[in-house]
Amino acid sequence: MLVQGIAKCLHCGDVAGEWVGRSGSPLLIRGLRPRPLDCDPAGVIRCRRCNGPMFLDEAGLVSSSYRLRRVQRMRRQLAQLERDARPGRAA
């Protein structure tokens, strides 16, 4: 399950940016949007101002239009496969 929210410092409230990743996983740099170029993507996000730990504020589930279109396309393909597999249609 993907979640997104705002990566915010627990100590001073500084905002690192928007974060997207799996629910319950640590806040790694690879999940930051936009991702900083000069950091190890596998590293844990720390506050730029005070080096404090970050937490995910205003977290919510990701339900992007891309994912919805993908699910709808897969459902259409499944329905087509079921129609093609019906008895009497085999060549």
To Zn ion, the closest distance from the beta carbon of 57 in angstroms equals 13
Give residue 45's identity as a one-letter amino acid code.
I
> Residue 44 or 50: which CB sits closer to Zn ion?
50
> Residue 14 or 18: which CB sits closer to Zn ion?
14
> Residue 2 or 12: which CB sits closer to Zn ion?
12
Residues in touch with Zn ion (CB under 5 A)? 9, 11-12, 14, 47, 49-50, 52
To Zn ion, the closest distance from the beta carbon of 47 in angstroms equals 3
Tokens of 69: 């279109």
Dist. CA 58–CA 79, nearest whole Å: 38
Dist. CA 78–CA 25, nearest whole Å: 32
Cα distances (Å, whole numbers) of residue 17 to 51, 67, 86: 15, 22, 51
To Zn ion, the closest distance from the beta carbon of 37 in angstroms equals 21
